[in-house]
Amino acid sequence: MVAVVVVLINTAANKGEPMRERSNQATTAILRNLPESEMIESSSIGGPGFVNVLLSNNWIAENIQKMLVDGIETWAPRLHVRKAVVDFSSPNIAKEIHVGHLRSTVIGDCIARMLEFSNVEVLRRNHVGDWGTQFGMLIENLFDKFPSVEDFNETAIGDLKALYKESKQRFDEDPAFKARAQQAVVRLQGGEPKYRQVWMQICDISRKEFDKVYNCLGVELEEKGESFYNPYIPRVIEALTNQGLVEENEGARVIWIEGFSTPLIVVKKDGGYNYASTDLAALWYRLNEEQADWIIYVTDVGQQEHFDKVFSAAKRASWLSADNRAYPKASHVGFGLVLGEDGKRFRTRSSEVVRLVDLLDEAKSRMLKISKEKQADRKKYGGILWTDEELEKISEPVGYAAIKYADLKSNRLTNYTFSFKQMLNTEGNTAVSLLYAHARICAIIEKSEQNIQELKKGKVVQPASFEKEREYFEEVDAFELLEESPSPKRFGTWTMGNQSENVTITHLCSRLKKWQIFKKLNYNCGSSITLSKILETPSTTLKPIKREDFDASILRTPEKSSPKITTGLQSIQSRPDKNITNKDVPQRDYISLSNELLVSVKEESCEDIEVGVKDLSLASTSASLDLDHVNPFAMLLAVCDQLAPAKLLDVLSKYCDPDSIAKIGEGTYGEAFKAGNTVCKIVPIDGDIKVNGEVQKRSEELLEEVVLSLTLNHLRNEGDARNACTTFIDTLDLKVCQGPYDAVLVKAWEDWDDKHGSENDHPKQFPENQCYVVFVLQHGGKDLEGFVLLNYDEARSLLVQVTAALAVAEAAYEFEHRDLHWSCYLLFLL
Ligand X SMILES: NC(=[NH2+])NCCC[C@H](N)C(=O)O
Between CA 717 and CA 731 the distance in angstroms is 13
Contact between 728 and ligand X by CB under 6 A: the answer reads: no
In the stretch 266-295, what mask flags binding to ligand X with x, by CB under 6 A? -------------x--x-------------
For residues 798 and 673, the answer to whether their CB atoms sit within 8 Å is no
Q: Which is nearer to ligand X, 94 or 748 (CB)?
A: 94
Q: State in angstroms the smallest separation of the CB of 279 from ligand X.
A: 5
Q: Is 404 helix (H, G, I), strand (E, B) or coil?
A: helix
In this chain, which stretch among 88-96, 230-238, 428-436, 532-540 interacts with ligand X, using CB under 6 A? 88-96
Q: Which is nearer to ligand X, 308 or 705 (CB)?
A: 308
| Helix-helix angle 275-288:304-316, to 10 degrees | 50
Between CA 391 and CA 401 the distance in angstroms is 16
Q: Which is nearer to ligand X, 93 or 737 (CB)?
A: 93
Between CA 748 and CA 251 the distance in angstroms is 93
Which are the contacts of 575, defined by CB distance < 8 A and separation ≥ 6?
638
For residues 83 and 328, the answer to whether their CB atoms sit within 8 Å is no
Which are the contacts of 225, defined by CB distance < 8 A and separation ≥ 6?
93, 126, 127, 128, 129, 130, 131, 203
Between CA 151 and CA 140 the distance in angstroms is 14
Between CA 83 and CA 43 the distance in angstroms is 39
Contact between 90 and ligand X by CB under 6 A: the answer reads: yes
Contact between 87 and ligand X by CB under 6 A: the answer reads: yes
Contact between 105 and ligand X by CB under 6 A: the answer reads: no
Residue 246, strand partner residues: 255
Q: Which is nearer to ligand X, 103 or 681 (CB)?
A: 103
Q: Which is nearer to ligand X, 64 or 339 (CB)?
A: 339
Q: State in angstroms the smallest separation of the CB of 113 from ligand X.
A: 19
Contact between 127 and ligand X by CB under 6 A: the answer reads: yes
- Please choose, from the candidates 348, 42, 97, the residue with its C-alpha nearest in 3D space to the C-alpha of residue 210: 97
Neighbour count for residue 100 (Cβ, 10 Å):
19
Q: How many residues line the site for ligand X (CB under 6 A)?
A: 10
Contact between 297 and ligand X by CB under 6 A: the answer reads: yes
In this chain, which stretch among 90-98, 234-242, 753-761, 816-824 interacts with ligand X, using CB under 6 A? 90-98
Q: State in angstroms the smallest separation of the CB of 30 from ligand X.
A: 41
In this chain, which stretch among 89-97, 216-224, 359-367, 503-511 interacts with ligand X, using CB under 6 A? 89-97
Residue with the closest Cβ to ligand X?
90
CA atoms within 13 A on the CB side of 387: 3
Q: Which is nearer to ligand X, 210 or 297 (CB)?
A: 297
Q: State in angstroms the smallest separation of the CB of 208 from ligand X.
A: 18
For residues 685 and 698, the answer to whether their CB atoms sit within 8 Å is yes
Contact between 229 and ligand X by CB under 6 A: the answer reads: no
For residues 558 and 527, the answer to whether their CB atoms sit within 8 Å is yes
Between CA 736 and CA 702 the distance in angstroms is 10
Q: State in angstroms the smallest separation of the CB of 129 from ligand X.
A: 4
Contact between 126 and ligand X by CB under 6 A: the answer reads: no
In the stretch 154-193, what mask flags binding to ligand X with x, by CB under 6 A? ----------------------------------------
Contact between 810 and ligand X by CB under 6 A: the answer reads: no
Contact between 624 and ligand X by CB under 6 A: the answer reads: no
Contact between 335 and ligand X by CB under 6 A: the answer reads: no
Q: State in angstroms the smallest separation of the CB of 37 from ligand X.
A: 43
For residues 405 and 423, the answer to whether their CB atoms sit within 8 Å is yes
Contact between 299 and ligand X by CB under 6 A: the answer reads: yes
Q: State in angstroms the smallest separation of the CB of 315 from ligand X.
A: 17
- Please, which of residues 375-414 interact with ligand X by CB under 6 A? none
Contact between 312 and ligand X by CB under 6 A: the answer reads: no
Q: State in angstroms the smallest separation of the CB of 244 from ligand X.
A: 25
Contact between 129 and ligand X by CB under 6 A: the answer reads: yes
Contact between 92 and ligand X by CB under 6 A: the answer reads: yes
Residue 188 to residues 162, 235, 239, 244, Cα–Cα distance (Å): 22, 20, 26, 31
- Please, which of residues 667-706 interact with ligand X by CB under 6 A? none
- Please choose, from the candidates 90, 92, 130, 96, the residue with its C-alpha nearest in 3D space to the C-alpha of residue 109: 90
Between CA 814 and CA 613 the distance in angstroms is 8
Which residues here bind ligand X, judged by CB under 6 A?
87, 90-92, 127, 129, 279, 282, 297, 299
